[in-house]
Structure 1
Amino acid sequence: MRVAIAGAGAVGRSIAAELLDNGHEVMLIERDLSQIEPEAVERAEWVNADACELSSLEEAGLQDCDVVIAATGDDKVNLVVSLLAKMEFAVRRVVARVNDPRNEWLFDDSWGVDVAVSTPRMLAAVVEEAVSVGDLVRLMTLRQGQANLVEVTLPEATPLAGRPVRDLKLPTGAALVVVLRGGRVILPQPDDPLEGLDELLLVASPDVEEDIRQALGH
């Protein structure tokens, strides 16, 4: 997969390194010459250009990319990059970084964004997940709010302990994806028993989250 990343700061470089380690091709686009350091991510292709300029993106070959990641520290730039990538170059997948949570409402398909990643929201969710037992926590929004990745940690004395996964009466629009138990990652099967302090990861539409709480006895 070929990925273009707009913004070669600490965030963009870290993403690039991860993607390269996973076998993908990466192009870093950066307009600030002082940030152009090919030795920092040697296997990436580096392009000194303004990612908000259509001609620069054409010259860089954005049309050949499968994914574009707008990872600059400026939300306005990330929105413009996302819109150009989707509307002018028909990039299949556009991921955008949200720096200011107040701007999160803008990062949707009207601006060409497929996935918006809000660092402040994710950090808050991680903190909440670490201290919450028995309550449902949103970890990530998917598909412009059509679904959420949510987590709930079962209380130690949950009435679900010992009951099989198939007994969970989850609503339509919700699916149990993974059970985390201690250091184990379990792909749940219908006959697998649940235990107290299990962490359940589910994908669910926002309108059924209250139904999930009821199904889990909360």
Structure 2
Amino acid sequence: MRVVIAGAGSVGRSIARELLYNTHSVLLIDKSADESAMRRVPEANWLAADACEIDALNEAGLSDCDVVVAATGDDKVNLVVSLLAKTEFGVPRTVARVNNPKNEWMFDEAWGVDVAVSTPRLMTALVEEAVTVGDLVRIFEFRKGHASMVEMTLPANSPFVAGRLGDLVLPPDTVLVGIIRDQIPIAPSPDDTLEAHDELLFITAPESEDELENMLSPGQRVKRPRDED
């Protein structure tokens, strides 16, 4: 997979290293790129240019890449890069960093963003995921697909403890994609049995989240709070 990353700060470099470790091809674009910066991720290709300029994106070969990651510290730049990647180059997938959570509402398909990642929100979700039992925790949203990845640690008093997955009737547009039990990931199958404190990972539509939570953990709370950015 060929990935172009706009922004070679700590976030962009960290993403690049992880992708390179997984044997993907990576190009970093940063107008401040110099030899010192390039030595920090020498395995990547580099382009010293402004990622908001069409000529720079042409030189980066966006028309031949699989994913564009807009990872700069400027939300305006990340939106412009995502929009250009989609509209001018037809990049299949764009991932954009949201620096200010108040701007998150703009990071959607209208601006060419497939997946928006807000670091503060992701950190909050990971904290909640680590300490809550019986609450549905939204990990992140797939903007283009109008779906979310959510997690619940199944409480011991859930009516589905010891039940077969094949007998579990989920809300509309909801799929169980994984179970983590004793820190070991499990691919769900109809014959699997749920256990107390299983971490359940779902892909679901936002409008199904309340039903899912109330079904798995009845009485936990009446209504999930919604984001109001």
Fold conserved between structures, TM > 0.5: yes
Contact 2:5 2:16 in 1 (8 A): yes
Task: State the partner residue of 1:151.
Answer: 151
Change (3 A) 1:158 1:79: same
Q: Which range moved further: 187-196 or 30-39?
A: 30-39
Aligned AA for 2:17? A
Letter in 2 for 1:53: E
Q: Is the 8 A contact 2:95 2:116 kept in 1?
A: yes
Task: Say which SS state the counterpart of residue 157 (structure 1) adopts.
Answer: coil
Q: What is the CA distance between 1:58 and its match in structure 2? A: 1.4
Q: CA deviation at 1:45?
A: 0.6
Q: Distance in 2 between matches of 1:14 and 1:33?
A: 15
Which residue in the other structure is 1:71 paired with?
A: 71
Within 1, Cα distance between the matches of 2:127 and 2:202? 18
What fraction of aligned residue pairs are identical, expressed as a percent? Answer: 57
Distance 2:103 2:43 in 1: 33
- Are 1:97 and 1:117, in contact at CA under 8 Å, matched by a contact in 2? yes
Q: Secondary structure at the match of 1:31?
A: coil
The yes-or-no answer on 1:193 pairing with 2:193 is yes
Give the structure-1-normalised TM-score.
0.95
Q: CA deviation at 1:191?
A: 1.5
- Aligned residue in 2 for 1:174: 174
Residue matched to 1:87: 87
Cα separation, partners in 2 of 1:193 and 1:201, compared to 1, 3 Å: same
Distance 1:170 1:60 in 2: 44
Deviation of 1:54 (Å): 1.0
Please give the TM-score of this superposition, normalised by the length of structure 2.
0.90
Question: CA-to-partner distance for each residue in 1:78-106, whole Å, 9 max, x for gaps?
Answer: 01111111111111111100011000000
- The equivalent residue for 2:100 is 100
1:6-49 Cα distance to aligned partner (Å, 9 max, x none):
00011111111111111111100000145862221111111000
Alpha-carbon distance between aligned partners in 1 of 2:215 and 2:160, rounded to the nearest angstrom: 10
Deviation at 1:143, TM superposition (A): 3.5
Residues 24-39 of structure 1 aligned to structure 2 (within 5 Å): 24-33=24-33, 37-39=37-39
CA distance in 2, matches of 1:205, 1:159: 23
- Aligned residues, how many? 218
Unmatched tracts of structure 2, length 5 or more: 219-229
Deviations 1:148-198 (A, max 9, x none): 101111112333221111222211210111111112111111111111111
Contact kept, 8 Å, 2:3 with 2:26, in 1: the verdict is yes
